[in-house]
């Protein structure tokens, strides 16, 4: 049986509900405005009980407008925040003012099904014949949070690339400058053997810079949404990538065996050539002395083709294998002996083409890098 205080509270609630209902019924303009707002709106009394919500808040939370009337505002609040929120309501009604809620705090609302979503809330108040009411304007900021997260990830990504590119370009440029100065200062006194050695080092550094710039251009193109996906001639792309790697192949005396049965796939030629370039380049770098490299493919599940590059090098340690495709990672940096962009660019390309990337490796027994693309 309800006590006197409970009865008074219920009577007060009914008066407040009746007042708001009557007010909106008598003022069609206000009612129309309330229901046309992009924000959800909730009216509560000083006990934190709901007097009214608009259609938008009903859509956001999954509650029918009428089933929440008289309920505690806590139905919209995650369980772990209920006690703290009750205190906030009491403080607000003691000194009400128009202001945003939870400045510097991430606010979360709860739906009828128990799921939550991030919100932004502004609060105001209304003095009525039945007493003072609080008004909350609720904005779903899920899309904004998603955009902020994506922007943050892109900034981290760009920072990582900027750091890597600055380091690699600087190293190559210093090499060119250093050997050029040696040639200039030595004049005619330098031996032909030393001159050829310096020129060779300048050539190597120049090629590294050219590769960095090429990969940055590919990285920029990956950001574009619209590329033409078409059937590509995989044999031609492998030949083109190997032609770009001719100096590296000759320098290491690498032997490349390309399967005759190289299946074509769907993709974007510029990006796929870059995949081959980077994976074959790594196989040459880390494939040991006179590396022997196998390039082949096989049908995989769900309409994918698995393309693989196998080397007989030193392999990849267990702790480095999980991070090898990351944009920048302290553990990955221990492995890298040169350019830091390649494998992370390969990962981005395969992601963009709805493919995937794997590595199989055992220390001392070489590695197999594979990428999967649709047939």
Can you give the pLDDT at residue 339?
Answer: 40
Q: How far, in Å, CA of 290 to CA of 313, rounded?
A: 10
CA distance 337 to 301: 35
Distance CA 293, CA 166 (A): 31
Structure tokens at 271: 């990006």
Q: What is the pLDDT of residues 125-182, one digit of tens each?
A: 888 877 888 899 999 999 999 888 877 777 766 666 666 667 667 767 887 888 888 8
Answer for the pair 274, 346: CB distance below 8 angstroms, yes or no: yes
Helix (H, G, I), strand (E, B) or coil at 213: helix
In eight-state DSSP terms, residue 49 is: B
Phi, psi dihedral angles at 263 (to 5 degrees): -75, 145
**Residues 303-313, mean pLDDT to the nearest whole number:** 93
pLDDT in tens, 7-59: 667 776 777 777 676 666 666 777 788 888 889 999 988 888 888 899 999 99
- Rounded mean pLDDT, 210-230: 71
DSSP code, position 99: E
Collapsed DSSP state (helix, strand, coil) of residue 143? helix
- Do the Cβ atoms of 331 and 320 come closer than 8 Å? yes
**pLDDT over 70 at 327, yes or no:** no
Instruction: Give the three-state DSSP class for 152.
Output: helix
Exposed (0-12), middle (13-18) or buried (19+): which is 111, by Cβ within 10 Å?
middle
| Domains annotated on the chain, with CATH | 4-140 (3.30.450.20), 143-225 (1.10.287.130), 227-375 (3.30.565.10)
């Amino acid at each position: 049986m309800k006590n006197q205080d409970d009865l008074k509270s219920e009577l007060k609630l009914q008066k407040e509900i009746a007042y708001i209902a009557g007010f909106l019924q008598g003022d069609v303009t206000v009612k129309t405005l309330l229901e046309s707002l992009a924000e959800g709106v909730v009216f509560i009394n000083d006990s934190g009980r709901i007097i009214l919500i608009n259609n938008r808040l009903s859509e956001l939370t999954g509650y029918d407008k009428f089933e929440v009337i008289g309920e505690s505002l806590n139905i919209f609040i995650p369980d772990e925040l209920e006690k703290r929120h009750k205190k906030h309501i009491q403080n607000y009604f003691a000194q009400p003012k128009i202001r945003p809620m939870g400045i510097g705090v991430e606010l979360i609302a709860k739906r009828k099904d128990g799921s939550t979503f991030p919100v932004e809330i502004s609060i105001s108040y209304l003095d009525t014949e039945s007493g003072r009411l609080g008004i909350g304007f609720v904005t779903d900021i899920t899309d904004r949070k998603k955009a902020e997260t994506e922007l943050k990830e892109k900034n981290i990504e760009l920072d990582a690339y900027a750091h890597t590119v600055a380091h690699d370009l600087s190293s190559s440029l210093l090499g060119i400058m250093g050997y050029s100065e040696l040639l200039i200062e030595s004049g005619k006194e330098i031996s032909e053997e030393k001159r050829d050695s310096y020129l060779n080092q300048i050539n190597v550094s120049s090629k590294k810079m050219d590769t960095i710039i090429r990969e940055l251009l590919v990285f920029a193109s990956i950001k574009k949404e619209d590329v033409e996906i078409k059937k590509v001639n995989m044999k031609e792309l492998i030949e083109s990538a190997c032609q770009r790697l001719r100096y590296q192949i000759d320098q290491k005396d690498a032997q490349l065996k390309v399967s005759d049965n190289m299946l074509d796939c769907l993709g974007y030629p510029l990006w796929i050539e870059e995949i081959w370039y980077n994976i074959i380049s790594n196989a040459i770098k880390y494939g040991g002395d006179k590396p022997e490299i196998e390039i082949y493919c096989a049908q995989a599940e769900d309409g994918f083709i698995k393309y693989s590059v196998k080397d007989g090098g030193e392999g990849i340690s267990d702790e480095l294998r999980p991070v090898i495709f990351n944009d920048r990672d302290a553990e990955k940096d221990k492995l890298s002996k040169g350019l830091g962009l390649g494998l992370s660019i390969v990962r981005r390309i395969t992601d963009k083409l709805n493919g995937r990337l794997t590595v199989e490796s055992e220390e001392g027994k070489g590695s197999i890098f594979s990428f999967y693309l649709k047939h």
